Amino acid sequence: MPNPSRRTSTDLFSGVNVSLRPHSRYLINMQLRGCGTALVTPFHQDGSIDDAALRNLVAWQVESGIDFLVPCGTTGETPTLTHDEWLHVIDTTIDVVAGRVPIMAGATSNSTRDAVEKAKEVATRPGVDVILTASPYYNKPTQEGQYRHFKAIAEAVGDKPIILYNVPGRTGANIEPATLARLAEVPNIVGVKEASGNMAQIAEAINAVPETFLVFSGDDAVTLPVISLGGVGIVSVASNEIPHEMANMTRAALNNDWAAARTIHRKYLPLMQANFIESNPLPVKAVLAMMAKIEENYRLPLLPMRRDTRSKLQKIVMEAGLIAKPAVPAPEAAEFYIYENWTAGPHKIVLHRGSCGQCNQGKGRPAGHDANHARWHGPYATLAVGRENAHGMTGVLIRSECKCV
């Protein structure tokens, strides 16, 4: 059950546009909780950004009731974007959103100097409400190194709120709960997207930080347990595909309507898991292409999904109702034929289906066929009519039916 001492009925953001002051956190002009979409970045086949698809995707997200948007995170293939493209995706998102939902813009580098410059640049965008920044990747800093890295970013952007992103599976660096507690003392470090996959660590982290510190799940499948521990929502991959449903599930959990939340979770858990059947964002972009939202294009080193995993994904997507199941072709009308043969021995007939290899819709030539001593009768619309005609034929000594019948 949720911890009643954390984030219950009051808004986390007051609705008053004021600056942050030490230990009076999160007072910005929009509420940040619920479900936010880690947006994919659509590309054309030539690798350029598909502006029309990006705009349509952002508009659909807002119209579907998503709570906030996260351009240029991992799901957005940000490592493959140039500096200008990174800003373009953020600016396009700001333009389409037009202030309707908060924007949490990604700004990450494994060089603290570069991360500071990126954060300062994106902080000047009027439509950016929060900055999301991940642990330095590849160079594997210590806990103290991560602390100083994030503190430098926060201090460089003044009052602009910062959300940390802990995803050790990608960065090779884990933000431990004790380090997170230290970072929570920095006035404008307001929360964390926790994607460690370690529920014990997430529980410990939630207990280590102030009650007003925002903890978002970074994994769709564990959104409900994170909220039950005191989290405030999810930065979601699945909401690219099902924004309305993910937003409703998250709101239901935050409102203590666990029956409704679990119902949605049960229905879409296979999709949440399938989004990681191969490296993110390969599956989610494949699904969006199946839904005709984007073209399925990636930038190297990412490649399209393998055929076997794509087939599994498509089945899950159909079962979730996101795309139509292929129409089952109407069965061909069954026709029946009688083969009459008096070439040698007793006069005999054999009843066949028209689709039988020997019959071939009354054109077949069975072994020993002699056109002067054999012929086909039919077609007959049903088996019953075929049998009736077979029994009515005179002069026949042997009546039988092919195994096809």
Domain that holds residue 368: 336-401
Q: Which strands form 162-166's sheet, in the order they lie side by side?
A: 68-70, 34-38, 233-236, 214-217, 189-194, 162-166, 130-134, 104-106
Lowest mean pLDDT among 120-134, 208-222, 298-312, 330-344: 330-344
- Residue 209: its pLDDT value, please? 96
Q: Which strands form 374-380's sheet, in the order they lie side by side?
A: 374-380, 336-341, 348-353, 398-401
Domain limit, last residue, from 254, 284, 319: 319
Query: Cα–Cα distance between 332 and 316 in angstroms, integer?
Result: 29
- Residue 401: its pLDDT value, please? 87
Query: Cα–Cα distance between 216 and 218 in angstroms, integer?
Result: 6
DSSP string, 267-297: HHHHHHHHTTSSSTTHHHHHHHHHTTSS---
With contact defined as beta carbons under 8 Å apart, do 362 and 371 qualify? no
- Residue 17: its pLDDT value, please? 35
- Residue 331: its pLDDT value, please? 57
- Residue 333: its pLDDT value, please? 62
pLDDT at 391 over 50: yes
pLDDT at 314 over 50: yes
Query: Cα–Cα distance between 123 and 232 in angstroms, integer?
Result: 23
Lowest mean pLDDT among 67-71, 194-198, 264-268: 194-198
pLDDT at 72 over 80: yes
* Tokens encoding 309: 């995993």
Please, which residues bridge with residue 374 across strands?
A: 341
Structural domain includes residue 132: yes
Q: Are residues 258 and 220 in the same domain?
A: yes
Q: Measuring CA to CA, which residue among 346, 344, 350, 351 is closest to residue 397?
A: 346
CATH of the domain at 188: 3.20.20.70
Average pLDDT of the chain is: 88
Query: Cα–Cα distance between 99 and 60 in angstroms, integer?
Result: 15
Structural domain includes residue 167: yes
pLDDT at 11 over 70: no
- Which amino acid, residue 23? H
Is 193 among the residues known to form the active site?
yes
- Residue 323: its pLDDT value, please? 92
With contact defined as beta carbons under 8 Å apart, do 300 and 279 qualify? no
Q: Are residues 49 and 154 in the same domain?
A: yes
Local confidence band at 28 (pLDDT 50, 70, 90 cut-offs): very low
Q: Are residues 205 and 346 in the same domain?
A: no
Structural domain includes residue 181: yes
Percent of the chain residues topping a pLDDT of 90: 70
- Residue 332: its pLDDT value, please? 56
13: buried, middle or exposed (CB in 10 Å: 19+, 13-18, 0-12)?
A: buried
The four Cα atoms 140, 146, 148, 152 give a dihedral, to 10 degrees, of 100
Q: Are residues 375 and 310 in the same domain?
A: no
Structural domain includes residue 384: yes
pLDDT tens for 175-220 read 999 999 999 999 999 999 999 999 999 999 999 999 999 999 999 9
Lowest mean pLDDT among 194-208, 217-231, 254-268, 337-351: 337-351
Q: Are residues 282 and 342 in the same domain?
A: no
pLDDT at 357 over 80: no
pLDDT at 381 over 50: yes
Query: Cα–Cα distance between 117 and 318 in angstroms, integer?
Result: 44
Local confidence band at 89 (pLDDT 50, 70, 90 cut-offs): very high
For 27, the 3-state DSSP assignment is: coil
Q: Are residues 344 and 201 in the same domain?
A: no
With contact defined as beta carbons under 8 Å apart, do 297 and 41 qualify? no
Structural domain includes residue 215: yes
Catalytic residue from among 118, 160, 193, 285: 193
Query: Cα–Cα distance between 268 and 290 in angstroms, integer?
Result: 17
- Residue 368: its pLDDT value, please? 66
For Cα atoms 212, 216, 222, give the angle at the middle one, nearest 5 degrees.
Answer: 130
Q: Helices 112-123 and 143-156, interaxial angle, to 10°?
A: 30
Q: Are residues 170 and 63 in the same domain?
A: yes
Alpha helix (H) residue ranges in 98-166: 112-123, 143-156
Q: Are residues 348 and 279 in the same domain?
A: no
pLDDT at 272 over 80: yes
Is 165 among the residues known to form the active site?
yes
210: buried, middle or exposed (CB in 10 Å: 19+, 13-18, 0-12)?
A: exposed
Query: Cα–Cα distance between 32 and 68 in angstroms, integer?
Result: 7
pLDDT at 25 over 70: no
- Residue 258: its pLDDT value, please? 98
Q: Are residues 242 and 103 in the same domain?
A: yes
Q: Are residues 245 and 392 in the same domain?
A: no
The pTM score is: 0.76
Q: In the predicted model, what is the mean pLDDT of residues 288-313? A: 95
Q: Are residues 208 and 297 in the same domain?
A: yes
Total domains in the chain come to 2
Q: What share of the chain is helix, strand, coil (3-state, %, to 5)?
A: 40, 15, 45
Structural domain includes residue 261: yes
- Residue 213: its pLDDT value, please? 95
Q: Are residues 308 and 356 in the same domain?
A: no
Local confidence band at 386 (pLDDT 50, 70, 90 cut-offs): confident
Structural domain includes residue 364: yes
Q: Measuring CA to CA, which residue among 243, 298, 292, 258 is closest to residue 81?
A: 298
Structural domain includes residue 244: yes
Catalytic residue from among 26, 147, 165, 339: 165
pLDDT at 378 over 70: yes
Instruction: Please write down the HEC assignment for all residues of 39-66.
Output: CCCCECCCCCECHHHHHHHHHHHHHCCC
Lowest mean pLDDT among 59-68, 175-184, 370-379: 370-379
Q: In the predicted model, what is the mean pLDDT of residues 369-384? A: 83
Local confidence band at 26 (pLDDT 50, 70, 90 cut-offs): very low
